[in-house]
Structure 1
Amino acid sequence: MSSLSFSPTVKICGLTRAEDVQDAISAGAGFLGFIVEANSPRRVSVSEAKPLFSPTKGLAKRVAVTVNADDHLLDRIARDLAPDFVQFHGDETVDRLAQISKRYDFGLIKAIPIVTDEDMKTAGEYAGIVDFVLFDAKPPKGSQVRGGHGVAIDWDIIARAPTPKTFALAGGLNPDTVREAISRTKAPILDVSSGVESAPGVKDVFKIQAFMKAVNSHG
């Protein structure tokens, strides 16, 4: 395998505990993801998220992950958490995100489930509005939870499509799969949640360290 000319950044998502946040920072994660008031076993309220956000300012990019958040929730997130980014993991339209980008100072990430080549075209429609797109797996049939299922995307769909300079890859990433994911997709940002957990919302420091080691030795 030839050496790649970039060093991917890692986003550890679904954080719920202060000790896991510290472990993520210590391991070198560039982004910290918190699922704020959305349907998920990793859900935290705005008030629960605040003590996790505040001490980490400047140490990593802090991301509030939302699903179809209304303006009231976004106002609370902006005021109480002051995130670097808000991730939109629901059915938000291009027009909706364009309005949000004008109203708030935080960066925008849009998650797009990728199942077919056509989905990559849909993702492209958001590229000019948001700071970057997150390619994720489609939730299992019947699930009301949008992410964190440990299901992988068909990486060949991403490999054969034009991709923006900055994008994130999620879905089925863990210490055993991430090197191949990097090799096949050239993803500059890797988003992991269940792949570094011992239980939903409970991160495993050894899995975090193994994941970061795999990323840093991908060449």
Structure 2
Amino acid sequence: MNACAQPFRIKICGLSTPQTLAAALDAGADMIGLVFHPRSPRFVTLDKAAELAALARGRAAIVALLVDPDRTRMDEILERVRPDWLQLHGGETPAQVAAIRTAACLPVMKAVGISEPGDIAAIAPYRAVADLILLDAKPPRDAAYPGGHGRSFDWRILAGLDPALRFMLSGGLDPANVGAAIREVGPAGVDVSTGVESAPGVKDSEKITAFVAAARAAAEMTV
């Protein structure tokens, strides 16, 4: 498929209140992320996630972020939240990603942690089983959860990527640097969480609006 026909996606992850969800939707975010990892400060219960998903449905793609999910938990989320995408942010193997994608009958985004050039090799096995790759900064070694730490990585590492690879970029993005990231890296989309917060897990509506505007402007310039 012609890459030019594919939309540029802006994802706001870790939303947990109707007010900040409304800010993301009103700003024009393409995807909203709901985090189901209990150790994350952005964790939402099934009841809260279902409430937020109902508000977002039809306005943005609903993404359920899971970390090494078991089948029972995944089925609960699928039934109650009815997401449009699953984001796998744990140590899922390519075979597990394929199995989850088949079981859920949904497109899957697989996160791959990047911190050094050698990490690029980890992408290849997922290309055939994931609908989209998310390149994120590797978390600290002692981290309690795998993403949303506000860390960036050296974008120059991505210079050797296959130009045909469609991926979303994450890790340390914020309203001030997302434009430069898009121009330098040329991703198919960007994903932000910490960069639009006033405190861990507390989204800032003004930052969300500024992030979406900056990302959209940069993406339009690179078309």
- Provide TM-score, normalisation by structure 1: 0.93
The 1:16–1:40 alpha-carbon spacing in structure 2 relative to 1, beyond 3 Å, is: same
The equivalent of 1:48 in structure 2 is 48
Structure 1 residue runs of 5 or longer lacking an equivalent are: none
Counterpart mapping for 1:27-176 below 5 A: 27-176=27-176
- Provide TM-score, normalisation by structure 2: 0.91
CA distance in 2, matches of 1:125, 1:37: 24
Number of residue-to-residue matches in the alignment:
216
The equivalent of 1:177 in structure 2 is 177
2:166–2:188 contact (8 Å) kept in structure 1 = yes
Given the alignment of the two structures, is residue 212 of structure 1 paired with residue 212 of structure 2, yes or no?
Answer: yes
CA distance in 1, matches of 2:205, 2:159: 31
1:36–1:45 contact (8 Å) kept in structure 2 = yes
Q: Following TM superposition, by how much is the alpha carbon of 1:98 offset from its aligned partner in structure 2, in angstroms?
A: 1.2
Q: Following TM superposition, by how much is the alpha carbon of 1:167 offset from its aligned partner in structure 2, in angstroms?
A: 1.1
Amino acid at match of 2:89: H
CA distance in 1, matches of 2:182, 2:7: 10
CA distance in 1, matches of 2:179, 2:210: 11
Greater helix content: 2
Q: Following TM superposition, by how much is the alpha carbon of 1:170 offset from its aligned partner in structure 2, in angstroms?
A: 0.4
CA distance in 2, matches of 1:136, 1:92: 15
The 1:7–1:86 alpha-carbon spacing in structure 2 relative to 1, beyond 3 Å, is: closer
Matched residues, percent identical? 37
Q: Following TM superposition, by how much is the alpha carbon of 1:6 offset from its aligned partner in structure 2, in angstroms?
A: 8.8
CA distance in 1, matches of 2:48, 2:56: 14
2:37–2:145 contact (8 Å) kept in structure 1 = no
CA distance in 2, matches of 1:114, 1:52: 30
Runs ≥4 residues deviating over 4 A: none
1:132-188 C-alpha deviation (Å, 9 max, x unpaired): 010000112311211111111210111222154421110010011111110111011
RMSD: 1.8
CA distance in 2, matches of 1:39, 1:10: 25
The equivalent of 1:203 in structure 2 is 203
Amino acid at match of 1:127: R
The 1:108–1:6 alpha-carbon spacing in structure 2 relative to 1, beyond 3 Å, is: closer
Structure 2 residue runs of 5 or longer lacking an equivalent are: none
1:117–1:161 contact (8 Å) kept in structure 2 = no
CA distance in 1, matches of 2:213, 2:63: 23
